[in-house]
Structures are given as C-alpha cells and as structure tokens.
Structure 1
C-alpha cells in the first residue's frame, strides 16, 4: 500500500493507494479513498451514495482532518467549508455563520445536526444560538456539510445548509485515546474517548473533555471552564441497529465583543493608546461581580459566568428492516437545558471623557442645586480620574451589563421509511418522512448601563456633583452605573412543529440520476409577553435609578401559526467513476421564529411578520483523480420579504431605539475546493468563494430633524459578507509521512458594518500553522499556531451603533470585533 496526504477544503486526511507503506503510517490517521467516500447528509434513501455522485455541494471532514485542524469552536470547523463566512471572533460559542449570501445572523438559516438530527430546532432562537448547545471533542468522528440544495428538505430552518456532526461508534475491538492540550493563554484541556464491543452485538462508547483557561482576550479571571461527557450504547441485530446516546454539558465560555479601535496613518485598523486590539477586552475584575438595583430588590450579576450552559440530551436512533423491502429509520432526542448569558456589551459611541461630562453637566446641576460642577471618580476606590490624560487617551465608553436567561425543553423526532424498487428497468430510491418538534422556553432579559474608562480590563467610573468646596452633593451615577434597568424583557413561549417530506432518487440510466424532494412544514406557537413600564426607585442622591424599565404584570398573549412548502429538483450525470456534473433548483421557505415576537408586547401583536421565500439555483463539477480533486459550484440565491431589525443604543437616554425594514437580497457566486498532490512529500489544498451579495431592495423610514425620511439602500453589499474568501493550505510531509506541516493562509476581502455601506471593514490576511508528528503507532504530538502575524482583522463593527446606518462611520475612535491575536496550543495524544 502507498499512503499520501489528501487535503480537502483546507484540512488534511490520509488516502490509501497502491504501493509501499511507510513504516510510520498510522491506521488511526487513514481514511478511505475519497472516490469511494460515502455520505449520509442531505439525502434520505436505502442505497449508499458516494460524495462524487452527489447532486449537491457537500464537504466532508473525517477524524484525521478534524485532528489536524484542531478547531476550538464549532464555527472554526466551518472555515474549512467553501461558501461559509464565519465570524469566530466571539469565543468558543455565540458566533455567527453565513453562507451563500444569507442575510441573517447566528444559525437561523444553517442547521447544526448531531447524528442526522438537529441539536436545536430553531438555531437562531433569540439569544440562544445553536453553537451554545454544542461542544466539539474527540467523541465526534466525522463532519458532513451541505450548502443549500436539498438541506431544507430534510431539516427545518436550513436554506443555507446543514452541518452534521457524526459521533464515533464502537468497533469490533476495544480502542481509545487520551489527549492533553496546553495553550499559551493559560489553557489546560483533557480529552478522552473509549469504545469497545460488549458481546452479543452490543457496543459501548464513552468520552468527553474538561478544560480551563482565561482566553486569548483575558479579562483577568478564568472565563472558559467546564466540559462535556457522552455515553453511547449500541446493539446490532439481524434486522437492524439501535443506538442510545446520552450527552451532558456543564460549561462556561466567555463572550467576546467589540473593542475600541482607531486608524493608523495608512487608515488601517489600529489600537487605541492603552488598549491592545489583539488581546485586550473591556471586561475585567472591576466589572465582574456587581449588584444592580431593581424593583424587586438587588440583582446579583456575575460577568464570570459568561455563557453558562447546563444541558442534557438523550438520543435514540433506530434502523430497522420491517419487511417487503422497507426500512424504518427513526431518530428522536429529548433535550433540556438551562442557559444563562452574561456579557459586557460596549455600546453607543466612544467619547472623550470631557465631552461626556459636558453633555451631563446641565442635568446634574439642575438635580443638585448646591453643585457647581461635576467630576469623575473611580467607582471602587473613589480616586480621581483625570478626563484629559487618563490611560493616555482620555476616552470613555458605555458598557451594557446584560443578563439573559433562556431555559429550554425540547423533544424532536424524525421518522423515515425508505425503500428501493425497479420500475421499467430503472431504480427508484424513495423516502417518506415525518418530523415533529415540541419545545417551550422562557426569555428573561435585564440590563444595567455602566460608565467605563477605555483601557484593557476597564474600570467603572462614577460622575459626581460637587460644591464649591469640592464636596460631593450628589451623583449622576451609582457604583459606576449610568442607568439601572436600561432593558427588560419577559416572555414564555410553547411551540409545535410538524413536517412531512418525501424524496425520490431516480436512476434514469447508468450515468444519469434525477433527484426530487418536497417538505410541507407548519409551526404553531402560543405564549405571552409581559408589558413594560418605567419607574423611579426613589433612591436619594443618584440619578441612576430614575428610569428603571420593569414589568407591568400584564401579559399580551401570542397565538400564531405559519406553514410553507419547499421543493427541490436536481440531476447528476456521472461521466465516469471520478467525474460528474450536477444541477439543482430549490424553492424553499424560512418560517418565522417565535423569538420575533418575544421582545415586547407590541411585537406580539404584529401582523406583518411573514415567512421568507428563498430560491436557489446551482450547478457543479466534481472531479477526482490520483493527482487532484476539484469541486466547483456556481450558485444564485434570492431571499424575499426579509424583516430586518436594528436596535440602536442612544447614549443620551441610555436606551435602545428599534428600527424595522423589509428587503430582498440576491447573491451570485462560485465556490471552489480541492487539492493538488503531485507527490507524497507535498500538496496544496484550497477553498475559494467568490460572490456578489447585494440588496435588491432595502427601504425604511427614519425621523431626521422631525421629518420622516425614506432611506433606500438597494444595490448595496450585504452587511458583513465579503465578496472573496480564500483558504489555501500548502503542506509538506517528512520522515516518510510521520511529520506533517501545514501553513493555512486565509484572505477575506472588504466588508461593511452596515447596510448603508458607510463603515467599511478592511480586507485582511491571516496565517496559521498546523504541525503533527506521529512519534509511534500510538503516540502523536501536535502544534497549532493561530494568527502568526498578529493581524487586526475585523469581522464586525458595533451592531449597537446601528446596523442600518452605523453611528461609528467616519469616527476617529470606534468599536469593532477583531479576530484573536497570536496564540499557540500543543497537544499530546496517546491511542490504545
């Protein structure tokens, strides 16, 4: 046998071909030839289907590929998939993913699956991104990612695609691994996995991880701490197989948000004096533990909890031959979770400390007649803060200390009947399915707005009113808080989803196959949203409690239902075993989410929230040889009647103003992925995406100087989506394949932080390093370096300054979220 490394979409796997086997080759790193690689995602049927025969765009990452890439978050896995624009700058969870011009954030139009079933029916549920409910570890053995195409036939809320994480299964012999990882940012992590046969067809797997670190952007305390445990039990019998999988997550991860930035003399993003843009964060010990005033008494806030996840999921999967050629496939999952999200959201605009004093002076002097001026004091120490020279920048910014609790219970089940039959000498592989999801959740949100200096691990500032002798006679703030209760929401929602779908893979000739499918889906939900009122808590000596938003005790009911039909038609022509072409048209729909109604009683009464039609057309080439692999897909997507929300923070009132717009988008593009392997000692792989994402229509009305003004941004580039994304991975192999070095290079073209395209996010290139040394058949050492050149690459601006029209456009100082600075991780893996 001859082993050669194959890189797929920028990550490495090992392929087997004829020839001599080097002495250092490890069975654990092998994968079958990609020409014969089978896929299960994006289709339903009784027959096996090779990737090269698929009539849609699909990327696969096997165990060896994941091990070499060593992603630390779910979003980082997506970087290896062409067509996906990934914002992985938010930390290990709560990131954003967009694909093929999808104009929505989070995972609202891209589904994360585990063993073929969505981990959360609505991945974009307000403040409950699907990636908060998933952790990647050594229990995952494979990933399959479908872009567009039939994804929306076999999964809800997935017009952009489906990413399926497939767990490891026990084999014929006992095997396992332990892995230890350390990072130069105080990271320590331990992973393990073990699988073994138990006899009589039974198999057992167990695995998980635990880790602790402060994060690359350290707040001065541990912000990522916890782990996951997973136990699987399976049994194969004469007519089928059953799998039971139990997973529990108990984990805290920090949520990274925009940081203060400025421009250098080349008009490139640069750090503000006193703040490191690659490693800094406004979060720090000074604003970790606080007590907020509220109507019902003090509210304890702990920024150190970050995204606090306690989740248990039980999955039952059954494959059964039921007679007459029919097979039953059923996957059901019950999930219960309690997820709390605490974060510090820098908001509004960065101001000079003197300017902020000037804007508040008249109000303070009117409130405290004995005062002659106002001054800054540090909230914790009472020491003076010099507004002119502090931290070398003399700047301040508001920080929203926000807490959101979203407990969720959900049952989801997908039942399929599949069968093949011949008709007039042609084979049909048909499937009929029923999908149900029943979930309920609460949504509780509370916020206080703080006054912060601009520096790494910022401290809270009080603004005090003083008399002629310098004595304090009153406070604009209290304990560094500008406004208690600056945001409040309380809602409870129950939802039920039913979907019926069917598909037929019709082998017309030995080379031509036609695929068709449909999905009829309905969602109905009920619930209630509490009304809001603004009250004065009556605390003497401070203005911070004068306008606390709280509940009224009166609830507005929600009772909605929506339905929609999706269908797809595709064809694949297999010119030869390793060469084929395909084409596909998909007409699908994204149904409204319950979270669109949870923000306020007014939202609960809205009648203009409707389903979003999506139309997609694509055509592709698949070509695999011993020397290279090439996958090319051209596509066009159109989204209609999309509702956009813009919540802009007003620093004058320390409150949000909501704007709503409707629009349509169109994106045309080309995706390329493949690998060139001229010889065993080196290869180059790549994933390239080019697209022209634009708004076909985007109109809204805003009040400017008391006059209603219509804004029209038709023809503008979609917010935060680059036109060009490139990932190239040159790689070399040493010592007969025992050592492998990769140098992934990523390039992203200019994007915009707002729909108006008034604030640009500069293009950037980032260089990483992956290295692995197979010391023996059992022991391996790996090294991963991220952002080796320490580039400041901006992934988003400051959404709270305005996503329709950015309030930071043209400002000398602004807020944006860059990728993380240079970091290193080293791992030692032992297999047994």
Structure 2
C-alpha cells in the first residue's frame, strides 16, 4: 500500500496507518513521485531522489498496480513512455522494444527482480525473460529506466531495464496483508495473497503468491491457464546493514497466442474472415489438444494443453554490510533452476481458398512420387468426412506447425560491489559473474487446417482420373512429420567489471560517469541433422523426417565489449532540473543463436551509441518529465526465417545492418482539482534502418536503408483522465491509447493500421478493510493488430498484397472484477 511504501522508502519506523486510511490511499489520485528514492540504473549506495536522476526513469507504485493490475509482465511496460510493447501473445513470450531498438523479445531490455536479472540473457531461443516471471501482489513497486546507464549496471539492456521490487516483512512492523479474488469473464479465477510482519526487531517475514485457473483470453476449448507462484522472504534491516533471503517457486501453464486469419473489405479495411472471430477465436484448441506426431523410434506426444509451461525455483540471497563510515559491501546472488516447455500451434504459410490449395497439393503429390495423381480429395482427419467447398462459411485452408520446444535452464548470477561516499563523491566498483547451462530440444510437424475457431486437421488424398486413390499427400492431417528438429546443450560464462562515480560538483550540479567491461564465453554441442523416410508407402508425409544425424558439432565462442556513460544533472530548483547523457555501449551475442546453426559466423558484438537530454518538473498540481533521445545501432545481425509451403520447411537469409532513431518521450500528470487528474505518456520517434543491403534468392541486390523499423509506431500516446469521489473512496480511470501505423516487415510492404484502444479501471473502498475493483480492457471491442505473421517473412512479408493473411491482434473486450480483503 502507498502508506507502507512511503515508510520503507523514507527508511522510517512506522507501525502502519489504519486500514481505512490505507484503503483510501489505495484509490486516491496518484501523488507526485518526484521525491521517490530510486535504486535502478545506478550502483552507488547513497540515496537519490527521482528528481535528481540524470536519466529517464518511470516509477509505478503499489497504488497504480492495484488500480490496474497488469495482465502480463509485458503489460506493465505499456505504462512507460519510450517502450513499444506487444502483449498480444498472452502472459509470456511477448516483445518489448525501447527507443527504436530493432530487436525482439527481451534481447535488449533487461528484466530485473530486486536489481538482479530474472534471466541473465533474456533472449534465449524460445525462452524470453517474461516466461520466467509473473507479477503478483508481492510486488511493491516498479522502476523502469530507458537507455541511459542501464547497460552499464545491468547485462543485455541497452534499451533499458525494468526492475520489479518486492515487499519486505520489515515494511509492516505490526503485520499486514491482503487476499484478492479476481474473476474474468473469460472464465478465469485467480487468488492473490500476501502477509508480512516484523517477527523480531529489524527482522521480517513475508509470504505470498497467486493461484489461478482459466480457459484463456481466447477460446481454447479447454482449461488453458492453470498454476501459480509462491514466494517466501526473510529479511533483516537495521538501517545500515541488511540481509534478505527470498525463495520463489513458479509452476504455471499459459497459452501462447499466435496470428489469426484476416481479410479486407471492399474499401481496403481489415475485417474478420467469415466464421472466425479474430478477437476471441484461435486456430489452436480442443480439436488438436493431444496429437501423436510420427517420429523416428515412435510417435511424439504433442500436448497442446501444456502451452507455455514454466516450472522454476529461484533462491536469492542479498546482503549489505557496513565496512566503515560511508563504506558498504553489497552482494546479490541468485540460483535458478527451471524446466520450460513451450507447445503451440503456429499458423504459417498462406491462408488460401480450397480450390487454390487443391492445385498446390496436387503439385506436391506429383513431386513426392504420386505421378498418377490427377486430383485431390479433402477429408477431415478426425472422422474422414468430406471437406465442403464452403467449409465454415469461408472455404479456406491454412498450414500450421505443431511445435514443441523444451529449454531447461540452470543459472547462477552473483553481483558484488563496494560503495563508498568520499566527500562529494558516491563511488561504486563491482563485478558480476553468471554461469548457465541450458538445453534446447525442438520438434515440429506441419499440418493442413481448416479456418475456424479450434481448427480441424484436413487430409489430402491423391486420386487418378477414375477417382481411385493413388496415395496420400497427408497423414492424419500432417503434410510433413519432422519438419523441424534441433538438439543442443550449451554452457555460458559471463564476467563483467564495472565502476562509477556520482560527483556532487555543487549543490545544484552533479555529474556521473561509469564504465563496464564484459566477457562472454560459451561452449556446447549441437546435434547434426539428417532426413529419413519412416517407410509408410501410402503417404508422402513421412518421406522427409528431420532427426538426429551423425554426432554433434562442438561450439566454442568468446566475445567481449567495453561500454561507458557520462551524464550530468542540473537541479536549478528543488522541483525542477535538466539532465544530459551520452552512452557508448554494446550488446554481446546470445548463445541461443547457435542452438540451430552451430557453424554460423555472422554474429558479433553490437556497438550501440545513445544520447539524451531531459527536463523535469514536479509540483502538487503539475509534473512533467520530457526527454529527447537518439539511438544508433552500428552492426546488427538480422535473420529472416520464413516458411516454404511447398516443402513444409523453414528457410533463412541473413543481413548485417544498422539503425538510427531520433525521438521525444514525455510523461506528465496534471491535477487542477483534488477530484480530477490527467496523465499523459507520449513517445514520438523516427526509427529507420541504416546500411541495410543484401542479395535476394534471385541474385538481385536489395536496399532497405531508410525504411521504418519493423512493427514500431512513430507515435504512441496514452492519456489517462481520472476522478476521485466520496472522499477518495472511489477512483475511476479511463486509459486512451493511440498508436500510429506500423509495418509487419522490413520492406514496409505490409502496413499494420493505426489503432486506438480504451481501457476502464475502477477501484472502490467498500468497508474499512474491503475494496472492489473493475477492469475492462479494449472497452469498445475493436480490432487492433500488433504484428503480422513473422513466419511469412520479416524482410519481405509473403502476405503482402494477399486477399487473406495472418496477423496477431490484441484481445477483445475482457472484464475483470476483483474483491480485496486487507488485514
């Protein structure tokens, strides 16, 4: 709660306010956070107010988290200017970009828990950092740094770092907690709970977590969300020395939502395909929840109900010890062991008419040796009934990949530093070491599907002129078994040395500078691959099954990089200041890039340059943070994976390019009267590729320099008007978000239309210890596309200009109602 948070931030000893006062604070108009003490983006041990920071930082307090609980980790990022967030994938494996950074997932944005990475490399193949973390009521506040010094004090985070800071038992000396029940109209039930108490002088205990079950944010036809998280924290804090032991266990299954079929109306507007609701339907679902995919040695049991299944235990030990006056030793250590399974149905290839598919399937039949074929009959794989020409009211088919990827990861991260205050200098020097062992196992089969919610597999039978069967193009709906296979085991070691100085030159002027040197080495084995024929003479689906080849390829790579930053803050008034910063940093390659291609030589250190100038003002009626920024990537390896329908296999091409972005971001809040306030978060940027040239498959040169970065809007605006009524016992907010046109591919050949989204948030104090909440996302139930279909090609989309195409929209209207009991 806000009152407890204020006690902990100011390092006061307080027993907590009355429940009525705390509940009122939980729904009151957001107060200025200008004086909040920040810990993210710096290494020094001295206290620093947000007003004094020489970089752009956004803070999200417990009040905001309670008013609008994020649906996913990525959903939290949407509140931060400078970030472009695609949270349409569900609760994990989403994409986050900051300030025009041209990479997906969490490859350039760090995700931290209590100032330590949730996952050292947040972009391992099929294992984004958000799969390893869930937001629940044990989170006290969030701090988000864009650009600036983030990459100096945190790994793999040139675009910024978002730090989730948890509650402590010592924050509530007299003991406090809450239980919250949430019901979602998508038939989901969730319980969040926590309790914290000081069990001895300066010694606190906290336990909490969540559990939920639900059918998913799209209609999967089965219980798609099931699981939870539990955390136990023991901490000691006497104001000068502190120790924290935190154990978090996560066992949770969630679906991974993928693109859906769409088409155009006569005016060129994007609309639904008949028989398919793009806001609520998914091609995955109950008709394919358990499928046997033939493989060498026996069938592969594909279980769609597993979804993205994370089983993770993380043990964190932190300590801060006073060594001398003004000198402290700080250590943060985390051991994490996890099993991550990701099963999903990835629609791929082209959405096309049954007639056109018959033609292409006939060509495949003849190419596969069924030379006597003159026609194709289509039957449903589950019952053998004929597929009508107008099936589902649309008469369309699409291919889909039943893909299973397993990425177990064991990891140790240790960050150790010495901080000292010497005169006007706040000094810090430290070393971070990380070791990880991960495996990567991937298997896939490609099937033919009809276009409906919870699609059915379709069999294609080749017949001769007399109608006699001459063979089967598919088997149980599968066009190709073993269309993708990988097996790898890789160990990584990272060691980084960093140091920084925050120098209070005058009472108004502070300059800071810091540097980081990091070395990465990894080694491992990646299986060779071959294709085999499983030997069924009646079908060509098993003729080219990819599987283990002869032995393994050894990988052994080393990279290093040095980065530095210098910034200054001029606080010419206590509530007003300016800052400027220049950063020359890097991003080292991800070991996961070698899991499927052990002999690649195109990877290397990515040099990154960033500059920013900011203004900040904070008062009771108005607060404003505005930053102009510049980001330049000088060398980036971009890989275009695209699916070839004819062979049911992935093809790839690589280009080395750069990017450059100029932009402005701002966040502001206006409070003209006590009962009304207006929040603003705005980002305008001009993100372009630089030196993007390559040779296409036909040998022709291609130049995409100057094209707008893929899927990033030039303008993103978020307005949040809010009202407070009945002596601050009721708060209501409307979030209005607008995003301008984006492109699904680097060629900018497939535009994604601008859209406006509206959300509604209400929270009310019912009694002294009971609160109620209502959250409605996508209030007007509008179609909002966040990405196209990457499997159609990210350089040049194969869906561009097609009558039917695949894209991933935000979810339709979702209503969440909650009741919270505090004690």
Same fold, judged at TM 0.5 (above) = yes
Is 1:160 aligned to 2:191, yes or no?
A: no
Counterparts of 2:512 and 2:243, CA distance in 1: 29
Q: Structure 2 stretches of 5 or more lacking a match?
A: 7-18
Is 1:408 aligned to 2:409, yes or no?
A: yes
8 Å contact kept, 2:319–2:332: yes
Counterparts of 2:369 and 2:589, CA distance in 1: 46
8 Å contact kept, 1:233–1:245: yes
**Alignment partner for residue 575 of structure 1, among 572, 575, 583?**
572
8 Å contact kept, 1:190–1:209: yes
Please state how far the C-alpha of 1:241 moved relative to its aligned partner: 1.1
CA-to-aligned-CA distance 1:260-291 (integer Å, 9 cap, x gap): 00112332221001111111100121111011
RMSD: 1.8
Change (3 A) 1:239 1:98: closer
Question: Which residue of 2 is the match for residue 346 of structure 1?
Answer: 347
Is 1:712 aligned to 2:703, yes or no?
A: yes
Is 1:124 aligned to 2:126, yes or no?
A: no
8 Å contact kept, 2:723–2:731: yes
CA-to-aligned-CA distance 1:237-276 (integer Å, 9 cap, x gap): 5851110000000000100000000112332221001111
| Paired residue secondary structure (2:321) | strand
TM-score normalised over the length of structure 2: 0.96
Question: Which residue of 2 is the match for residue 195 of structure 1?
Answer: 196
CA-to-aligned-CA distance 1:85-133 (integer Å, 9 cap, x gap): 0000001111000010000000000000000000100001111000000
8 Å contact kept, 2:307–2:342: yes
Matches within 5 A, 1:209-220: 209-220=210-221
Question: Which residue of 2 is the match for residue 12 of structure 1?
Answer: none
Counterparts of 2:269 and 2:259, CA distance in 1: 17
| Paired residue secondary structure (2:716) | strand
Q: Structure 1 stretches of 5 or more lacking a match?
A: 7-20
| Paired residue secondary structure (1:39) | coil
Matches within 5 A, 1:493-572: 493-572=490-569
Question: Which residue of 1 is the match for residue 206 of structure 2?
Answer: 205
Please state how far the C-alpha of 1:198 moved relative to its aligned partner: 1.2
Counterparts of 1:26 and 1:661, CA distance in 2: 55
Matches within 5 A, 1:67-86: 67-86=66-85
| Paired residue secondary structure (1:486) | strand
8 Å contact kept, 1:343–1:403: yes
Question: Which residue of 2 is the match for residue 9 of structure 1?
Answer: none
Question: Which residue of 2 is the match for residue 384 of structure 1?
Answer: 386
| Paired residue secondary structure (2:64) | helix
Counterparts of 1:395 and 1:33, CA distance in 2: 54
| Paired residue secondary structure (2:748) | coil
8 Å contact kept, 1:24–1:736: no
Question: Which residue of 1 is the match for residue 477 of structure 2?
Answer: 480
Is 1:788 aligned to 2:779, yes or no?
A: yes
Counterparts of 2:732 and 2:34, CA distance in 1: 25
CA-to-aligned-CA distance 1:734-787 (integer Å, 9 cap, x gap): 111111111100000000011100000000001110001111231100000010
Matches within 5 A, 1:306-385: 306-364=307-365, 367-368=369-370, 373-385=375-387
Counterparts of 1:254 and 1:95, CA distance in 2: 12
8 Å contact kept, 1:569–1:586: yes
8 Å contact kept, 1:259–1:816: yes
| Paired residue secondary structure (1:163) | strand
| Paired residue secondary structure (1:309) | strand
Counterparts of 1:723 and 1:371, CA distance in 2: 52
Please state how far the C-alpha of 1:370 moved relative to its aligned partner: 6.6
| Paired residue secondary structure (1:580) | strand
Change (3 A) 1:238 1:798: closer
Please state how far the C-alpha of 1:642 moved relative to its aligned partner: 0.2
Question: Which residue of 1 is the match for residue 457 of structure 2?
Answer: 460
Question: Which residue of 2 is the match for residue 441 of structure 1?
Answer: 438
Question: Which residue of 2 is the match for residue 699 of structure 1?
Answer: 693
Counterparts of 2:731 and 2:201, CA distance in 1: 41
Change (3 A) 1:480 1:775: same
Is 1:587 aligned to 2:612, yes or no?
A: no
Question: Which residue of 1 is the match for residue 15 of structure 2?
Answer: none
CA-to-aligned-CA distance 1:671-729 (integer Å, 9 cap, x gap): 0101000001111101000000001221111122xxx1111000100000000000000
Is 1:647 aligned to 2:644, yes or no?
A: no
8 Å contact kept, 2:33–2:59: no
8 Å contact kept, 1:22–1:737: no
Question: Which residue of 2 is the match for residue 658 of structure 1?
Answer: 652
Question: Which residue of 2 is the match for residue 34 of structure 1?
Answer: 33
Counterparts of 2:212 and 2:375, CA distance in 1: 50
Is 1:629 aligned to 2:623, yes or no?
A: yes
Counterparts of 2:656 and 2:618, CA distance in 1: 43
Change (3 A) 1:27 1:785: closer
8 Å contact kept, 2:250–2:312: yes
| Paired residue secondary structure (1:358) | helix
Question: Which residue of 1 is the match for residue 11 of structure 2?
Answer: none
8 Å contact kept, 1:24–1:738: no
Question: Which residue of 1 is the match for residue 279 of structure 2?
Answer: 278
Matches within 5 A, 1:182-261: 182-237=183-238, 239-261=240-262
Counterparts of 2:239 and 2:451, CA distance in 1: 67
8 Å contact kept, 1:284–1:459: no
Question: Which residue of 1 is the match for residue 487 of structure 2?
Answer: 490
